[in-house]
Structure 1
Amino acid sequence: MKINAKDEAKIKTQMTLEALQEALELLSPYFFAEMGIYVVLGFSILGSAIGIFNTGATLVTSTVAHPEIRSKNLLSILFCEAIALYGVIMSIIILTAIKEGAERSLTRDYVTKQEVLKAGYGYGAAGLSVGFSNFAAAITVGVLGSSVAVSHCGDSSLFVKLFISEIFAEAIALIGLISGIVMTTSVGFDSRI
């Protein structure tokens, strides 16, 4: 029996997906939960660093000509730092939930594989969602902070109007943190959750 190229491609794809599924089954659910911690910390801090760099570079350049704009525009840098703290808060929440769940599941006689997998994937997904939302929000705050600093040099009455958009950009990170907390509280490494 001869197999055509289209069927051969389907068979290879199916074999690749089965191999991926087998590889994922070998990983511990705690791996995904721990990766959620690393992702939320890494992306939150990286995004904040990029945002602070954007705002800081523009602020340093702009204050040479207009030193009076320096103090107001430091709020943009504080917003970026707050976003990094959201990532630290979420990582502590996930870490605490993992520790408590692991201790409780060790005292139980029966823990299903589905419960443990759901918890591991849930904590990992919470870390991903908060990390990516913090990354996007911090870069947005940095770009807007840079724009606010340049606009403030030209017309000081624009500061408040433009700063409101920066507050809404920072709210993206807060929404991400809230969704991550909801995701974290909806799963657990034991069935009492």
Structure 2
Amino acid sequence: MAENDTIEPSAYFFGYIGVASAVVFANLGSSYGATKSGVGICSMGVLKPDLIMKSVIPVVMAGILGIYGMIVGVILQGKVSSITAQSASKQGYAYLSAGLCCGLSSLAAGLSIGIVGDAGVRANAQQDRIFVGMILILIFAEALALYGLIVSLILSQTS
């Protein structure tokens, strides 16, 4: 335990802020995407209730964003608790950047999924051919969060 006494507390602070950032921002994006898409589904479901189950796809895709944040948060938490004295500041900053990378990219993806999901399910109720286009746009929006997840996993491998 003598080694941990020489580590600056700011390294732990920045590391745990990274953990919080990954979880909080990813869940913000997830909740916004699910809520905004859900409003569109409810609105569309009044006129075409048979399309409700088909229109749940944006809500599921938004829910995946929260899982990305949880994965990064759990990985970072394990890494922060084992920060070494040799490169404590470097590790703390790396974990902060990893958490922000995952969290903010998931937030951006959630905003995109929410807007496209809302407009897409409403448009799908009027024109069936828009469904494939909506799914493609949602996939590209989800890819933004996946890129952030990949980069944050790479950043978390700092030693």
Q: TM-score w.r.t. structure 2 length?
A: 0.91
Cα shift at 1:27: 5.1
Q: Note the residue ranges of structure 1 that are not aligned, 5 or more in a row.
A: 1-25, 106-110, 189-193
The residue number in structure 2 matching 1:6 is none
Partner Cα distance (1:161, 1:134) in 2? 21
The residue number in structure 1 matching 2:22 is 40
**Pick from 94, 106, 116: which aligns with 1:134?**
106
Partner Cα distance (1:162, 1:31) in 2? 41
Partner Cα distance (2:73, 2:63) in 1? 16
Mapping 1:18-37, distance limit 5 Å: 28-37=10-19
Cα shift at 1:44: 0.7
The residue number in structure 1 matching 2:5 is none
**Pick from 31, 36, 43: which aligns with 1:54?**
36
Cα shift at 1:118: 0.3
Q: Which amino acid aligns with 2:143?
A: A
Structural RMSD (CA): 1.2
Answer whether contact 2:43 2:122 (CA < 8 A) is retained.
no
Runs of 4+ in structure 1 displaced over 3 angstroms? none
Cα shift at 1:39: 0.9
Partner Cα distance (2:24, 2:118) in 1? 23
Q: Which amino acid aligns with 1:75?
A: I
Q: How many residues align?
A: 152
Identity %: 28
**Pick from 75, 91, 103: which aligns with 1:93?**
75
**Pick from 123, 135, 152: which aligns with 1:163?**
135
SS in 2 for 1:28: helix
Q: Which amino acid aligns with 1:78?
A: V
Q: Which amino acid aligns with 2:65?
A: I
The residue number in structure 2 matching 1:184 is 156
The residue number in structure 2 matching 1:20 is none
The residue number in structure 2 matching 1:78 is 60
Partner Cα distance (2:132, 2:36) in 1? 20
Per-residue CA deviations over 1:10-34 (Å, capped at 9, x if unaligned) read xxxxxxxxxxxxxxxx752110000
Partner Cα distance (2:133, 2:98) in 1? 33
Q: Note the residue ranges of structure 2 that are not aligned, 5 or more in a row.
A: 1-7
Partner Cα distance (1:72, 1:174) in 2? 23
Partner Cα distance (1:122, 1:28) in 2? 13
Partner Cα distance (1:59, 1:139) in 2? 16
